[in-house]
Amino acid sequence: MDLSSLDIIDAKAFFLGQDEWVFLFEVVVRCFISFVIVLFALRLTGKKGVRQLTVFELVIILTLGSAAGDMGFYKDVGVLPAVLTIICIILFYKLVTWLLIKSDKFERLIEGQPVTIIRHGRYTEEVVKNENISFDEFFMELRLAGIEHLGQIKYAILEVNGDVSVFKRAPEEITPGLHILPDKMKKFYTDYYPADGLYACVCCGYTEHKKQGPVAVCKDCEGVKWSEGCDAKWQ
């Protein structure tokens, strides 16, 4: 193959596209301006960390980031229109925040409501019927709170910002419950109980002692997916 016939990569076009080298200085200035504006906008929200953000506030931050990013490296995006966009977003945020304080219905529409996931060691009816809830992250939060199985929980509430509030039972009130430890959660039984013992319905958290043999339908939710139950007390 004749190497001389190959097109040589244009380094300037590769790194800068259609712009000139001086545009790199402009990018630095643009990024500094966008950084200062977004930092000021986040200060206005009064939030200390991402964990405190609701869905609405997360949308605001993503929108701010998009406007600031476009201003930072798109040459055809003027600084003033981008700054005006960010200012409008801040004003919209302030308006919506004011409406959230004034109207409970508007607050529920925008931010949602806390959801009680577990009540007295069992999934609530709303959770059992909702097939879109993923429990992996929820169980992680429970384990971080020192929970080994659902029987140790009086109430577990999923807050609107994604945090989980856990109200534990007193040691003498603990009942058997569904295991949430990773090594136990991987073992599911849908056809056959391997041995006599305590089993928990994965769909609702109902626990019952079962004999070795074919899997039975859950008496509470009619589910047929079981896991090992646990009756351990607090250590």
Q: pLDDT value at position 83?
A: 74
Yes or no: say if 68 and 60 are a contact pair by the CB < 8 Å rule.
no
Q: What is the pLDDT of residues 102-116, one digit of tens each?
A: 887 877 777 778 888
Please report which confidence band the pLDDT of residue 134 belongs to, taking 50, 70 and 90 as the band edges: low
Q: pLDDT value at position 3?
A: 47
Distance of CA 183 to the CA centre of its chain: 23
Residue 62 CB coordination number (10 Å): 10
Distance between CA 179 and CA 104 in Å, rounded?
37
Average pLDDT (85-98) is 79
Distance between CA 179 and CA 200 in Å, rounded?
8
Query: What's the mean pLDDT when you consider all of the chain?
Result: 76
Distance between CA 80 and CA 71 in Å, rounded?
9
Please report which confidence band the pLDDT of residue 4 belongs to, taking 50, 70 and 90 as the band edges: very low
